[in-house]
Chain A
């Protein structure tokens, strides 16, 4: 596959950008560093588009696109058949992810030149953005699961660095720490899963794993671990890793706090790309899940559905616009997980897989748009709180229209992209079980409600007082908004099933009229309800509802107290109940024993030092007694003898 060798530059360019900006950035003018980052990323984006074009226009092999591996080199040897390779794997989902990541990343790069203008550490910001883009691209291009883990960790660190970008703000520091540690904890599961899976199959390669060769997996199926077959345990553990990154319940707690980072970062990392890594991971290993552990796959669907509902409920009562969007992201990722979880293999059974990937694609675009729009709003009013907004539609016309498009898309109103992908997910859920279908339709309605609550409270309602009139963002910021809005309008018409499907064969997307009509009606009702409640700021209904459902409302605004549970575990248990006693034990018992030894040596020395007094009479006395004793001893021996 020689013609695909240029894909290596997709990884090299962002890395080069990171190295240059990281080492020499502080000497550059901010504008230069921003331009450098954006230009290199622009080149990466072009290469990604070229890759996608070449890849999807190449002739199919047996009806499916061929997997290509332009690079695969040995990076570390673990003995036996286990090799840690670094390489590039091109297949439909990785190529699709290339397009998503590079597009959103480029938009964020351009947008940030306006948004972050004048910030201290501008160069550092671009260096970290490049590092993130590099790691994320490496993650999706990984040829084997260990390479994925490697980039997975790098992505985590870039996210940590970017959340903590405003490192003098205590909340940002705490949020970055939390994000890293929670995802690290999940990664532990991922790592153990990899170790188990690779030990029994003798390979890390996706290529071999996804072939689902029974011979390869026989060991893993037969062996049992804690009473379950190793393969199920390993796949469940790997999913925990994915759940951590993708903020699935109960590991979702880090994502809302991650909003402390700069808003474009939230758009890139915590909405469009990194948080869907877990979905990508499950999709990557989908054949293995489907063949060997369908139970785990169903579990993923239930976790996804629950998370989706849970997050949507919280999103309805949050007042910080970024937090609303964060919970909405969690909820939408739940949709993708459900789609994968309910999916099977094959053309019709595989709807879910295709739908999940499709939703990943469309969601990345409109969610990035929502976040960038939120950034423009925050830029204008210098606040994240909805109460400081209201009536902004006159001041921010471009932001208003693009935001509305994104809201319609996420609510699933045709002809915007979200409608098509969400509809497929609902169809797949209905064919899995009616209950799942109804639940997901309900959550979709909830989504429409909270998104329009957000929309009306920002752009309509009572205008609040501002020191100076809010004004529209500069062109550097509005152009990405417009671009993403256009994508959101047209992406739904992409014949996605031709490119990505569970078995690689062409899958015709056909809308199921019942499902489509139901979902649109539900969404319209929800939007209507939101309009009635929030369009005029004077409606007292929201307050009345809040007082009626007082308990639920309080619990939801405290995010159902999951954070408190975590705080309890870390502070009270890990620090106070484990670490502090261990440290005490170390100082007082282990070290105390050593000190006790030296003390007793001292004590003994003190007791016997009387013998070395320097007093000659005493020496002579002892000497005489000694002599007598020896003579007596000798005599007694002699006499006995």
Chain B
């Protein structure tokens, strides 16, 4: 069996295991062993991938296998990976394991919670290994549905509203997407839904002009593209910690990944033609998200708007259509995934103690919880692009790549985009100053305790990954660059 299928199989086994478990210990055991297996598998896959490339395998996708599913509709279960999806799988595994750790004391209904959680991760893994448009779309939907229940049942605040909003908006995106996918399938006249095959088929430009925006917007909604980002602040604010982590950390990356792999790769001519519209939208996302974050008072809203800004940067870079900027986009996806998961984990831990996320009601937490406080500062520094942490590498690659366009339109947009690094510093330091530094605002808070072992483990894992990218980015960036060059656009 193809090793990639294990990424789907293990979550299925986790679902079965959780279903059969009778105690919290058993559930934790199942979830942890599953998550560790997945992480190990991702590590192994990365090594395997690098070895195969080193051995000279130059095919765009490795470990490809194909299984017919619906003969009459040409739907296949086709899987395969390139450097980008290998890294995305790695990211997912890290976030799943830290998410499990962050929801160690899940209450109420832990069993149901972890069932949906596993199903969600199943969808994400399936999406990243798929090469068949339809299978990919199916996994995408599998990842979306559990989100509704996870937020609606285990969330906080206006959870029903937020869950409904998030699901409806993302479903709206899927509706555009299925139109796009069907459009691609029928107008190329292909007898397959395999992306590799479709990329070779020439789609008429008139048709591309219709279906490119649909597909790009469909994925763009998930990637928090302005003005379809409003599900993100409400959704994240209401979601339980691990769901926020998984959602912002991985699910939003499905958007960027899909935009690249499907919208741009399959319809390059229309993409070039219409890029300017989406460049403006993503440019707005970048700056608009950053400015909005400056005045929010809820920690999760701040982080959600910051995600709008950072994810906007991903789409922005993809639309630059050059290898360097796109490499930066993938690095930014990884970097943003890790650091936003770290943020949400920390916010969840702080909220679990203070029972508020309003920065006006908290202060001086550094003194009370030095560990969580220091980690929050590190997350903040990663977010504002401190060298040595992942954000710097990603942003610099994007900026250098984007600068390859010499026309005024691109120059102005890129300079506007770079200006976001200053605004990011403003809102990050505002939070650090108010929340962690200064005097203690609420005397009740002095009794709170610092992080416990599973929280520490979760946070430290994420920080290590962020530092690893930030300190030694070359192998990763080469891996992405190579994959981009092989997959001819």
A residues within 8 Å of B by Cβ?
26, 74-80, 82, 84, 146, 150-151, 153-154, 157, 160, 164, 167-168, 170, 173-174, 177, 180-181, 184-185, 188, 191-192, 195-196, 198-199, 223, 225, 570, 574-575, 578-580, 582-583, 586, 590-591, 593-594, 598
Q: Can you spell out 27 A-B residue pairs with CB atoms less than 8 angstroms apart?
A: A26-B370, A76-B397, A77-B481, A78-B400, A78-B401, A82-B324, A82-B400, A154-B387, A154-B388, A167-B436, A167-B438, A170-B438, A181-B425, A181-B426, A184-B421, A184-B422, A188-B419, A191-B418, A192-B415, A198-B400, A199-B404, A574-B291, A574-B426, A579-B292, A583-B295, A583-B296, A594-B165
Residue from the list B327, B396, B437 in contact with A167, Cβ < 8 A:
B437
Q: Is the CB of A76 within 8 A of B433?
A: no
Determine how close the nearest CB of chain B comes to the CB of A126; give it in whole angstroms: 16
Residue from the list A76, A167, A580, A591 in contact with B366, Cβ < 8 A:
A167
B429 located at the interface, meaning its Cβ lies under 8 Å from any Cβ of chain A in the complex: yes
A168–B366 Cα distance when bound, in Å, is: 9
Residue from the list A77, A191, A578 in contact with B477, Cβ < 8 A:
A77
Residue from the list A185, A192, A580, A591 in contact with B230, Cβ < 8 A:
A591
Report chain A residues within 8 Å CB of B231: 594
Q: Answer whether A170 and B439 are a contact pair too, CB < 8 Å, given A78-B397, A78-B401, A79-B324.
A: yes
A223–B474 Cα distance when bound, in Å, is: 32
Q: With CB as the reference atom, state the residue of chain B lying closest to A195.
A: B403
Determine how close the nearest CB of chain A comes to the CB of B435; give it in whole angstroms: 11
- The proximity string for B residues 402-424 relative to A, scoring 1 for CB distances below 8 Å and 0 otherwise, is 01101000010001001101100
Q: Is the CB of B366 within 8 A of A191?
A: no
A223–B386 Cα distance when bound, in Å, is: 32
Report chain A residues within 8 Å CB of B315: none
B399 located at the interface, meaning its Cβ lies under 8 Å from any Cβ of chain A in the complex: yes
A487–B263 Cα distance when bound, in Å, is: 66
B451 located at the interface, meaning its Cβ lies under 8 Å from any Cβ of chain A in the complex: no
Determine how close the nearest CB of chain A comes to the CB of B375; give it in whole angstroms: 13
Q: Answer whether A590 and B439 are a contact pair too, CB < 8 Å, given A84-B396, A154-B387, A174-B433.
A: no
Q: Is the CB of B473 within 8 A of A173?
A: no
B393 located at the interface, meaning its Cβ lies under 8 Å from any Cβ of chain A in the complex: yes
Residue from the list B296, B399, B474 in contact with A76, Cβ < 8 A:
B474
A164–B433 Cα distance when bound, in Å, is: 9
Q: How many residues of B contact A (CB 8 A)?
A: 59
- The proximity string for B residues 320-336 relative to A, scoring 1 for CB distances below 8 Å and 0 otherwise, is 00111001000000000
- The proximity string for B residues 265-309 relative to A, scoring 1 for CB distances below 8 Å and 0 otherwise, is 000000000000000000000001001101110000000000000
Report chain A residues within 8 Å CB of B367: 168
| Chain A interface mostly | helix
Determine how close the nearest CB of chain B comes to the CB of A125; give it in whole angstroms: 14
| Chain B interface mostly | helix
Report chain A residues within 8 Å CB of B291: 574, 578-579, 582-583
Q: Is the CB of B426 within 8 A of A79?
A: no
Report chain B residues within 8 Å CB of A77: 474, 477-478, 481
Q: Is the CB of A177 within 8 A of B392?
A: no
A637–B481 Cα distance when bound, in Å, is: 66
Report chain A residues within 8 Å CB of B227: 590, 593
B195 located at the interface, meaning its Cβ lies under 8 Å from any Cβ of chain A in the complex: no
Determine how close the nearest CB of chain B comes to the CB of A133; give it in whole angstroms: 15
Report chain B residues within 8 Å CB of A75: 473-474
Q: Is the CB of A583 within 8 A of B292?
A: yes
A598–B167 Cα distance when bound, in Å, is: 12
Report chain B residues within 8 Å CB of A150: 387, 392
Determine how close the nearest CB of chain A comes to the CB of B427; give it in whole angstroms: 9
Q: With CB as the reference atom, state the residue of chain B lying closest to A590.
A: B227
Q: Is the CB of A74 within 8 A of B474?
A: yes
6 nearest CB pairs, A to B: A591-B230, A579-B294, A167-B437, A150-B387, A79-B324, A173-B437
Report chain B residues within 8 Å CB of A578: 291
Report chain A residues within 8 Å CB of B292: 579, 582-583, 586
Report chain B residues within 8 Å CB of A598: 165, 168
Determine how close the nearest CB of chain B comes to the CB of A235; give it in whole angstroms: 17
A79–B398 Cα distance when bound, in Å, is: 12
Determine how close the nearest CB of chain B comes to the CB of A7; give it in whole angstroms: 20
Residue from the list A154, A195, A570 in contact with B400, Cβ < 8 A:
A195
B169 located at the interface, meaning its Cβ lies under 8 Å from any Cβ of chain A in the complex: yes
Other than the known A170-B438, A570-B426, A582-B291, what 13 A-B pairs have Cβ atoms closer than 8 Å? A26-B370, A75-B473, A79-B322, A82-B400, A150-B387, A153-B385, A154-B387, A184-B422, A582-B288, A582-B292, A583-B295, A586-B292, A594-B230
A192–B399 Cα distance when bound, in Å, is: 9
A26–B371 Cα distance when bound, in Å, is: 11
Q: With CB as the reference atom, state the residue of chain A lying closest to B420.
A: A188
Report chain A residues within 8 Å CB of B411: 225
Report chain A residues within 8 Å CB of B419: 188
Report chain B residues within 8 Å CB of A26: 370
A164–B481 Cα distance when bound, in Å, is: 40
Q: Answer whether A168 and B437 are a contact pair too, CB < 8 Å, given A78-B324, A195-B399, A579-B294.
A: yes
Residue from the list A168, A188, A199 in contact with B364, Cβ < 8 A:
A168
Determine how close the nearest CB of chain B comes to the CB of A507; give it in whole angstroms: 36
Q: Is the CB of B364 within 8 A of A586?
A: no
Report chain B residues within 8 Å CB of A154: 386-388
Q: Is the CB of A180 within 8 A of B295?
A: no
Determine how close the nearest CB of chain B comes to the CB of A598; give it in whole angstroms: 7
Report chain A residues within 8 Å CB of B226: 590
Determine how close the nearest CB of chain B comes to the CB of A205; give it in whole angstroms: 15
Report chain A residues within 8 Å CB of B229: 590
Q: Answer whether A153 and B386 are a contact pair too, CB < 8 Å, given A79-B323, A174-B433, A181-B426.
A: yes
A593–B169 Cα distance when bound, in Å, is: 12
B381 located at the interface, meaning its Cβ lies under 8 Å from any Cβ of chain A in the complex: yes
Report chain A residues within 8 Å CB of B418: 188, 191-192, 195
Determine how close the nearest CB of chain B comes to the CB of A162; give it in whole angstroms: 13
A342–B241 Cα distance when bound, in Å, is: 59
Q: Answer whether A76 and B473 are a contact pair too, CB < 8 Å, given A167-B436, A586-B292.
A: yes
Report chain A residues within 8 Å CB of B401: 78-79
Determine how close the nearest CB of chain B comes to the CB of A172; give it in whole angstroms: 8
Q: Is the CB of B437 within 8 A of A184?
A: no
Report chain B residues within 8 Å CB of A78: 324, 397, 400-401
